[in-house]
Structure 1
Amino acid sequence: MSDIEPELVDDDDDVRVESAAQVVAAKETLAARCKAAGILCEEITDSEGEWRVRVGMKSARTVRPLTLWSAESINRLLALPFERYVFLSDLEAICSYSDGTIEAGVRYAGNGIAPMGSMYRRLFGADRPEDFDLAAAKMVIAPQQDGLPHIEISQASPVFQTLSRAAGTRRLTLKLSHCRVTTHDSALALLQKIAGSVLFQVDLMVDIPITLERERRRPALSRRVRRAGSPPELQYPQTQFESAPLSLYWYGRSAAGMPLLQFLAFYQVVEFFFPIYSQSEAHRKLKAILKDPTFRGDRDTDIARLLAAIHVSRSGAYGDERSQLRATLFECTDSDAVRRFLEEDEGRKDFFQTKAKSLPYHKLPLANPSADLRGDVAERVYDIRCKIVHTKTDSRDGSVELLLPFTPEAEQLTFDIELVQYLAQRVLIASSTPLNVYG
């Protein structure tokens, strides 16, 4: 009792000194252990004098910060052999090579808020999870032969609860033990293989979708320029929009956190108008061919030029999809406006000028002030579209690698999603018609 009560006495100088000493001791012990293990450890103090200790846990070729703000949180970490653990990139998952263990958070993958009650009931037969002894509940899958990992789904371990941002006392994790892994990539591959098989089996047997939990990152703030000040003054509508592409647009706006789905929804808004604007482009091409003095109607090569210019796709649009996209953007957007959009936000401009160079998509020549960027934008958007849907493309594309959900490449689509959303807005506006309320 005497050990607890002094902590509540605010005006006791000895207690404050003792408390400060405990903090200093905890910080020093943590710093020493991190240094010995080659783990980054730094103390940060904000403008108000509040301190934080940030530990950089290893995660592939990067680090994942673990922030501690009290002696209690530091001592909780010190009670664990945290030096043995590394994070597996992009997942809420930890691995100990020396112990041969991998532990990964799992979550409900359906729409809406995770129905924890359904998960507990179907996995463990628990009608009321708050009254259920989760600590004793385990789903164990024993290996059929020596050398294979042991598999278990159960409550998150104390180590996982301390290290993971997504942890909590009622969290479930997939645990693998007796693993023969010595590198990050081999551990990640093993986890993905077993999780894919086990969690798909769970879905088939109990009809509840569960997936590995992605790394908890701080939500990225929207990069779109926001206008501060008074509320917007809305005007009475003068135009109306096609219901189908507008529905796709709202679908894209509602698909936050699903970058591939969001990109495709906005792309489909633009795609909806391909037949209209590609026809205008085809007219220009035909006129140019027919006005050519060297054109001969009895020459097969000239007829082939005409046929190529008026090639009609299954959607009724003219030309291949790449040229349809290009024609639509040239009809519906302004070159200067597109450049302003790309350059008005410093983060967006920096991404497309520098950071995007490492990505396998068409580059935008922002550094050239005289370049009409619409053609390059069309090429880039089409590149990404092909990598998402992985369909057949024309001979210029060559092989197309699939762009998968929950990958670093998908997470890097933020600025490209903003771009295709902007294009969808411009095309909707350009394609609107005068408002006919009763028509």
Structure 2
Amino acid sequence: MGSTKGSLARIARGRPDVPGSAIVTPSDAEQDDELAPELRQIADRAHAAGLKVWTLRWNAHPTVAITAEPELQIDFPAGRAERRVRISRGDAADWASTDFAHWVFLGDYDAFLDRSSSTVVAALDHRSDGFGLLRREIPGLAAMPEDDPDLTPREGEEPSGTAFREPVRLCVEHPAVEGLSITIQRPPPRALRVACRAYPSSWGVVITGVATDRHDQALRLLQEIATSFFIDLDLSYGSAFRLKKDIRVEWASEPREEEPSSTKRPRFPVLTHNDDAASLYLYARTLVSAPLLEYLAYYQVLEFFMPKYARAAAVQKLRDLLRDPRFDHDDDITLGRVIETITDTDRTAGTEREQLKATVTRCLDAGELARYREAHPRGAAAMADKKRIADVRLLNPKDTSASLVEQVADRIYDLRCRIVHGKEGGNGRGEPLRPFGPESKLLTYDLDLIRFVAQRVLITSSGPATWGR
């Protein structure tokens, strides 16, 4: 690859109205005389390997002079995409010690294929549990020797940390394919800690003898071998492991619309809420990076009150019939209509969709919904776009087949079905939402909506506080 001189790069700007907002300006690293010598050497190696190399300059504000020295950005191949990695002057020594010119990052994972050694290296999620392996002292699990290269701390790592005090490695070889093995270890390989900033206290996995230099094949081998190995470890030793994804892409989604906050001083609470329902709501509010679980927790708040409001709707229908001055309890035809109404009400109220609709229409006022949509224009537009999330009800004010409040109830239920029904066509409409699928990254505005609806249901279902009386 030739020089990138003269190529155009996108400028990722911060908000100009916010002091301290950052501006990142990529420029041609080969032409940058201000780049530190340590980074210049890294840039030269990357350029010689045919990698795109940029200089990043950070400003504190669009009107303020440069306040930080330039950093380096290398665009590594990652299949049909690229993995952009930033390298500061303090990282230069660590990068200089690696053979990064042969790396191909794998999919969305914090993982890469080293084509020079036919090795795949991957980080494991920080929630992975290796204590089962450590407690049980399983055969083959051994301490890493003190002179192991992976125990060399990188810049900023504390060598006396837990991972360096109990460094362990478990290697399992394929019985028939020579050279093919899988290794799980703590700390992760040093090259991985350099490339993906993996913590030394976490775990890493290494697959050697990978007979391919192609991204897609290496990615498939990583997923299949690691997944099978992790399931075996869980079944045999109760240790749960999971491959870690790049946080920039795992939960990538649209930015949330800013919620207006009250300008009044907080008051002592005057309403009391059902403890179970309120606990579900607060649980949902504390979930991080788990959009499907968060959505279902909010749905459970609605579900908690659904029987109450479904019965209330049935009682109201019966009350309206009995209030009719023309009602004649001696007329068999009139009584037959009452029975027909009650039977029909029981049937419709028995379906979850109708129970949800009864709950939402009782607790969500059309005016409140209109004000919410006005305050959330991006969300309103997103939920009217049929190209974003398939097989869910769109929110369209021009749709005369149902009120907008009823459309909200239908959309909430449709999304719930796509999450809960874990097999293709499980809800009779479309494929399920997967935790790491592309549509799961588009739930930001639907999460805001169902949270708003859950709030309205909690408030409507609350009672006056009696404490202190």
TM-score by length of 1: 0.74
Deviation at 1:322, TM superposition (A): 1.2
Measure how far apart 1:384 and its partner are: 1.8
SS of equivalent residue, structure 1 residue 214: coil
Work out which of the residue numbers 334, 351, 360 in structure 1 matches 2:390.
Answer: 360
Instruction: Kindly indicate whether the alpha-carbon contact (under 8 Å) linking 2:397 and 2:404 is maintained by their aligned counterparts in 1.
Output: no
Q: Match of 2:279?
A: 247
List alignment gaps of at least 5 residues for structure 2: 1-32, 60-64, 144-160, 325-331
- Equivalenced residue count is 402
Residue 309, structure 1, aligned to residue 355, structure 2? no
Q: Distance in 2 between matches of 1:58 and 1:190?
A: 18
Q: Secondary structure at the match of 1:272?
A: helix
Q: How does 1:179-258 map to 2 (within 5 A)?
A: 179-181=210-212, 184-217=215-248, 223=256, 225-227=258-260, 232-258=264-290
Counterpart CA distance in 2 for 1:391 and 1:304 is 37
Q: 1:252 & 1:118 partners in 2: Cα distance? A: 29
Label 1:26 to 1:351 Cα distance change in 2 as closer, same or farther (>3 A). farther
Instruction: Answer yes or no: is the 8 Å Cα contact 2:254–2:442 preserved in 1.
Output: no
RCO higher in structure (CA 8 A, sep ≥6):
1
1:102 aligned to 2:120? yes
Q: Deviations over 1:209-267 (max 9, x none)?
A: 2222232339989735355796x522343321112211111221222232222111110
Alpha-carbon spacing, 1:305–1:21, altered in 2? closer, same or farther (3 Å): closer
CA distance in 1 between counterparts of 2:201 and 2:283 reads 33
- Equivalent residue letter for 1:311: R
Indicate the residue corresponding to 2:375 in structure 1.
Answer: 344
Computed over aligned residues only, the root mean square deviation of the Cα atoms, in angstroms, reads 4.4
Paired residues of 2:74 and 2:86 also in contact (CA < 8 A): yes
> What secondary structure does 2:174 align onto?
coil
Task: Check the 8 A contact 2:119/2:210 in 1, yes or no.
Answer: yes
Distance 1:353 1:65 in 2: 33
- CA drift at 1:425: 0.6
Match of 1:64 in 2: 83
1:274-423 aligned within 5 A: 274-283=306-315, 307-311=343-347, 318-345=349-376, 348-349=379-380, 351-353=382-384, 357-365=387-395, 368=398, 372-390=403-421, 397-423=427-453
**Structure 1 residues 21 and 416 mapped into 2: Cα distance closer, same or farther (>3 Å)?**
closer
AA at the equivalent of 2:446: D
SS, match of residue 247 in structure 2: coil
Q: Which residue of 451, 454, 457 maps to 1:427?
A: 457
Instruction: Determine which of 55, 73, 95 is the counterpart of 2:74.
Output: 55
Q: Is the Cα–Cα contact under 8 Å of residues 126 and 202 in structure 2 kept in the other structure? A: no
1:44 and 2:56 matched: yes
Would the alpha carbon gap of residues 323 and 83 (structure 1) be closer, same or farther in structure 2, given more than 3 Å must change? farther
> Following the alignment from structure 1 to structure 2, what is the Cα–Cα distance between the partners of residues 52 and 326?
54
Rounded to whole Å, the distance in 2 between the matches of 1:229 and 1:435 is: 22
Conserved? CA contact 2:273–2:462, under 8 Å:
yes
Corresponding residue of 1:437 = 467
1:88 maps onto 2:88 in alignment = no
Residue 270 of structure 1 and its aligned partner are, at CA, apart by 0.6
Which whole-Å deviations, capped at 9, do the CAs of 1:34-85 have from their partners, x for residues lacking one? 6x24x4x332222242323222333344333211222x63564355443432
Match of 1:12 in 2: none
Paired letter, 2:41: A
TM-score (norm 2): 0.70
Once the two structures are superposed, residues 355-396 of structure 1 have per-residue CA deviations (whole angstroms, 9 ceiling, x without a partner) of x73322425345759994322222221122112221799x99
Q: Secondary structure at the match of 1:247?
A: helix
Inter-CA distance 280–233: structure 2 relative to 1 (3 Å threshold):
same
Kept after mapping to 2: 8 A contact 1:364/1:373: no
State how far apart, in whole Å, the 2-side matches of 1:288 and 1:185 are.
65
The Cα offsets for residues 265-288 of structure 1, whole Å up to 9 and x where unpaired, read as 110101111112223433566689
Query: 2:242 aligns to what SS in structure 1?
Result: strand
The 8 Å contact of residues 308 and 319 in structure 1, kept in 2 or not, is answered as: no
CA contact (8 A) 2:384 2:395 kept: yes
Rounded to whole Å, the distance in 2 between the matches of 1:289 and 1:392 is 44
Q: Percent identity?
A: 26
Q: Judging changes above 3 Å, is the alpha-carbon distance between structure 1 residues 363 and 163 closer, same or farther for their aligned structure 2 residues?
A: farther
Q: Is the 8 A contact 2:35 2:71 kept in 1?
A: no
Closer, same or farther in 2 for the Cα pair 1:147/1:279, shift >3 Å? Answer: farther
The structure carrying a bigger helix percent of its residues is 1
The one-letter code sitting in structure 1 at the alignment partner of 2:225 is I
Larger mean CA deviation between 220-229 and 200-209 belongs to 220-229
- Tell me the distance in 1 between the aligned counterparts of 2:309 and 2:361: 9
Any gaps of 5 or more consecutive residues in structure 1? 1-17, 313-317
